[in-house]
Amino acid sequence: MNRHLSFRSGNPALSKNTFKNFETTSTERMTLEGTVNKTILSLMILLSTAYYTYSNGDISYVMIGFIVGLILAITTIFKKEWAPYTVPLYAAFEGLALGGISHIYMEQFPYSGIVQQAIFLTFGIFGSLLFAYKTKIIKASENFKLGVFAATSGIFIVYLISFIMSFFGSGLSIMNPMNSSLMSIGFSVFVVIIASLNLVLDFDFIEEGVEQGAPKFMEWYGVFGLLVTLIWLYLEILRLLAKLQSRRN
C-alpha cells in the first residue's frame, strides 16, 4: 500500500486524485530539487510585489490582487498543465494584495512591528514543520490527515458563515482583528495551528508526486499548493497578532 494515504490536505488544490491519469517520460518528471527551486523563485516574486505595495502604501491593489489571484488559482486547479505560467502570476498578484493588507495592519498598529513579526513567524513555522516532516517527528498518517482535513473544513464553514453575514451588517465577531476577547484569540490560535499543519500535508503531497513520477509541470502545481497554505497562514498570523496587540492597548 502507498504510504501516502487518502486524505491529502484541507487545501482544495491538493487532492488524492491530482496525480491520476498523467503520462510521463523519463526526462520530464517531477523532482524534489525542481520543486524547491520553483518554490524559492515563487516566494521571491511574491515578496517583491508585496514589498512594492507595502513600501509605497498602495492599498488599491488589494482587491485586484485577490480577484485576479482567485481567477488564476481556479485556472490552475482545472488546468494543471498551465501551472508553469499561472503560478508565477498567482504569486505576483497575491503579493500585491498581501503588501497592501500588510500596510493596513501597519498603519493600524504603528511601531508594533506586527508585519515583521508575522513574516518571521510564517517562515519560522514553515521551516520548523519542514524539518519535523523530513526527520519523521511529524508523520502524515491517515488519522492525522483526516483530523486536519476535518478541522480545515470546519474553519472554512465558519469563514463562509461570516462572509454571508457580512452582507447583512457585520460578520462573525471572532473574525474581527480588533476583537481582543479570549474566545476570539483562541479561535485565531486554533486556525493558525490548523493552517500550519496543512503544510505537513502539502509536503507529503509533493513527496508523493516525486515518488509517482508526476510530469514536470507538477512541480509548479506543488508550489501552488504551498503558496495557498502559506498565504492563508500569514493572513491568520497577522489577524492573531492584531488581536493580541488590541488586547495590550
DSSP state of 215: B
Domain parsing of the chain, residue ranges = 32-248
Task: Choose among 163, 165, 158: nearest CA to 184.
Answer: 158
How do the pLDDT tens digits run along the chain, 249 residues long?
455 544 445 565 665 556 555 555 556 899 999 999 999 999 999 999 999 999 999 899 999 999 999 999 999 999 999 999 999 999 999 999 999 999 999 999 998 899 999 999 999 999 999 999 999 999 888 999 999 999 999 999 999 999 898 888 778 889 999 999 999 999 999 999 999 999 999 999 999 999 998 999 999 999 999 999 999 999 999 999 999 998 876
| CA of residue 126 relative to chain centroid, distance | 10
Say what the pTM is. 0.90
Q: Which three cell numbers stand for residue 78?
A: 482545472
155 vs 187: CA distance, rounded Å: 9
Give the N- to C-terminal CA distance of the chain in Å, as an integer.
Answer: 54
